[in-house]
């Protein structure tokens, strides 16, 4: 079973002026990231505005990315949805179209017990082939519900195809505890970009970075430094990552990514799915100017 590693990009979902899915721009973004050397693609996740897409739109996003990738990178489709039925439909669809695996966020809005969370993931695991890998996805600051290492361990023990977790809360202690599951074989990726290097040097497998939509060269350089064990170079690039975070992820990060991708000519537009709104022209100009002031224009070129 293929696992996520290195730099995994949760792709933005492009829309045209009428608010419809822009598959041509999505194909262009997919190709751009592959050509920049990104290891893994993760469509229809949080950065892809997943909860504001219909099930059919999410299927089209998954199909577009899998088709365009054509085996040149690992593709995990995010399939977590508002309810178990839709999650299972999307999970089975991902397996049928040839995705390498799926990520499944915890159910959102209602606070669930650990028993309810366990049975949710067990049902998803049972709905797909036993050799089709699944990553748990914890982002409690958005989804309300959280995954403890103890619960993740119970799920992994009951579900052999649950192979890892993407954890997007800034808690390095908990991230390290996930690494001890399955005798250290449980795959762990961090969501916070500022934990990329430390997660990997502590034994994790990489990061899932929204910023890498727009500056993949920077994240690839950091991953290469980590991979070859060049600690000093990794430290330098991680510090640069932290500065970039202040510009790209300070607020309304998805709208920021789309503004940069439009400026680069990769997306035809910077539209968002309502009620989300695009970045205002002045704010976009200020962001691009700030990036230029920080002399990251060579990264963005």
Each residue's pLDDT tens digit, 199-235 = 999 999 999 999 999 999 999 999 999 999 999 999 9
End-to-end Cα spacing for the chain:
35
Q: In the prediction, which pLDDT does 69 show?
A: 98
Rounded distance, CA 52 to CA 55, Å? Answer: 10
Q: In the prediction, which pLDDT does 260 show?
A: 95
Q: In the prediction, which pLDDT does 301 show?
A: 45
Q: How confident is the model at residue 291 (pLDDT cuts 50, 70, 90)?
A: confident
- Catalytic: which of 28, 166, 258, 262? 166
* 189 alpha-carbon distance from chain centroid: 10
What pLDDT digit, counting tens, does each position of 44-58 carry?
A: 999 999 999 999 999
Q: Is 167 a catalytic residue?
A: no
Share of the chain above pLDDT 90, in %: 92
Structural class in CATH, domain 6-300: alpha beta
Beta strands at 134-138 and 74-78: parallel, antiparallel or unpaired = unpaired
Q: Does the global pTM surpass 0.85? A: yes
Q: Is 219 a catalytic residue?
A: no
Greatest Cα pair distance, the chain, in angstroms, is 51
- Catalytic: which of 5, 135, 137, 257? 137
Q: In the prediction, which pLDDT does 296 show?
A: 52
Share of the chain above pLDDT 70, in %: 98
Beta strands at 187-190 and 162-167: parallel, antiparallel or unpaired = parallel
Q: In the prediction, which pLDDT does 250 show?
A: 75
List b or e across 135-173, with b for residues whose CB sees 16 or more CB atoms inside 10 angstroms: bbbbbeeebebbbebebbbbbbeebebbbbbbbbbebee
Beta strands at 40-41 and 74-78: parallel, antiparallel or unpaired = parallel
Rg (CA), the chain: 18
State the sign of the Cα–Cα–Cα–Cα dihedral 45, 50, 55, 58. negative
Q: Which two tokens stand for residue 293?
A: 């002031």
Q: In the prediction, which pLDDT does 295 show?
A: 62
Domain ranges (residues) in the chain: 6-300
Beta strands at 162-167 and 74-78: parallel, antiparallel or unpaired = unpaired
Q: In the prediction, which pLDDT does 251 show?
A: 81
Rounded distance, CA 156 to CA 185, Å? Answer: 11
Q: What average pLDDT does this structure show over 127-152?
A: 98
Average pLDDT, the chain: 95
């Amino acid at each position: 079973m293929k696992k996520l590693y290195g730099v995994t990009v949760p792709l933005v979902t492009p829309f045209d002026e009428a608010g419809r899915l822009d598959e041509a721009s999505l194909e262009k973004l997919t190709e751009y990231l592959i050509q920049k050397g990104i290891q893994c693609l993760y469509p229809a996740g949080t950065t892809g505005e997943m909860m504001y897409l219909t099930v059919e739109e999410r299927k089209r996003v998954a199909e577009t990315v899998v088709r365009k990738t054509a085996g040149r990178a690992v593709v995990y489709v995010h399939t977590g949805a508002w309810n178990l039925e839709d999650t299972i439909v999307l999970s089975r669809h991902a397996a049928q179209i040839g995705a390498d695996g799926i990520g499944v966020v915890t159910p959102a809005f209602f606070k669930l017990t650990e028993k309810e969370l366990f049975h949710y993931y067990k049902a998803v695991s049972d709905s797909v082939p036993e050799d089709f890998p699944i990553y748990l996805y914890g982002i409690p600051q958005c989804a309300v519900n959280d995954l403890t290492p103890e619960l993740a361990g119970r799920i992994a023990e009951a579900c052999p195809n649950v192979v890892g977790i993407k954890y997007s809360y800034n808690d390095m202690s908990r991230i390290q505890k996930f690494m001890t599951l399955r005798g250290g074989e449980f795959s762990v990726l961090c969501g916070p970009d500022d934990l990329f290097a430390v997660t990997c040097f502590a034994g994790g497998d990489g990061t899932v970075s929204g910023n890498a939509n727009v500056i993949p060269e920077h994240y690839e350089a950091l991953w290469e430094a980590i991979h070859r064990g060049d600690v000093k170079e990794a430290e330098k690039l991680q510090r640069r990552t932290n500065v970039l975070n202040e510009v790209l992820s300070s607020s309304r990060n998805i709208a920021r990514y789309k503004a940069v991708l439009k400026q680069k000519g990769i997306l035809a537009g910077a539209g968002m799915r309502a009620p989300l709104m695009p970045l205002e022209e002045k704010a976009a100009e200020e962001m691009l100017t700030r990036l230029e002031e920080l002399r990251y224009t060579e990264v963005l070129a």
